Amino acid sequence: SQKIEQNSEALNIQEGKTATLTCNYTNYSPAYLQWYRQDPGRGPVFLLLIRENEKEKRKERLKVTFDTTLKQSLFHITASQPADSATYLCALVNAGKSTFGDGTTLTVKP
Amino acid sequence: EAGVAQSPRYKIIEKRQSVAFWCNPISGHATLYWYQQILGQGPKLLIQFQNNGVVDDSQLPKDRFSAERLKGVDSTLKIQPAKLEDSAVYLCASTGNSNYNSPLHFGNGTRLTVT
């Protein structure tokens, strides 16, 4: 059956460091992969999209990689700030249907 | 642009009661989704509408859940009768682009507690 795994439930890092979140999947062939941010009590907010034929995508301090051989995406936040603290969700997209992982909660300590 | 509107924000009911949630998507967005998010988990798709037609309801527990989007704009999701395991946040999302890579625009959800 299809499975999406995001790394450890919680990730704690120091301000200024790079946060790296992982999204692994099995039994799935996504055409796209999206990353969302979710704050407590709010709906997810779209951050970045990467296509299956793209290796890397960047947006300001964010970088996403997509390795369809390893079936893995890495999400990096460089120069992290306390305001980056949130839950980050990856979503695999195929034929218009998005399937979400359970998210990784990131806490950036000052 | 105004975001996806949902109401109510919170609802507490007893098991076996019924409840309804309302969603108004971003103006012009043809595709509307209802997701269920249980605490600590990612959103799980319940139903997808394209205009006023159902595209995918394969994960909707049809014995107790129903949804409609009569005029292709607003949508309501109903649960009758509710069970304890229905306690979750119900998120509505919309997209306006027919491209399959369009990001989802979510509302802030309705938090349902079934006691």
Report pLDDT digits (tens) over B25-48: 999 999 999 999 999 999 999 999
Q: Looking at the predicted structure, is the pLDDT value of residue B70 above 90?
A: no
Our CA-based measurement puts residue A11 at a distance from the nearest CA of chain B, in whole angstroms, of 14
Pairwise CB contact (< 8 Å): B100 & A42: no
Contact present, B95 and B71 (Cβ < 8 Å)? no
Q: Which positions in chain A touch B108 (Cβ < 8 Å)?
A: 41-43
* Ordered alpha helix ranges (H), A1-110: none
Contact present, A97 and A91 (Cβ < 8 Å)? no
- Sheet of B5-7: strand order equals B5-7, B19-24, B75-79, B65-68
Confidence of residue B97 (pLDDT cuts 50, 70, 90): low
pLDDT in tens, chain A (110 residues): 778 999 867 999 999 999 999 999 998 888 889 999 999 999 999 999 999 899 899 999 999 999 999 999 999 999 999 999 999 999 998 877 889 999 999 999 99
Q: Which two three-digit tokens encode residue B17? A: 């009661």
Cβ atoms < 10 Å from Cβ of B58: 10
Please report the DSSP string for B57-106 in residue order.
-TTS-TTTEEEE-TTSS-EEEEESS--GGG-EEEEEEEE--SSTTPPPEE
Q: In the prediction, which pLDDT does A104 show?
A: 97
- Beta-carbon contacts of B62 under 8 Å, excluding residues fewer than 6 positions away, are none
Mutation choice for B interface testing from A6, A98, A105 by most B CBs within 10 A = A98
Nearest to A32 among B48, B91, B101 (CB): B101
Question: In whole angstroms, what is the distance from residue B103 CA to residue B108 CA?
Answer: 16
Length of chain A: 110
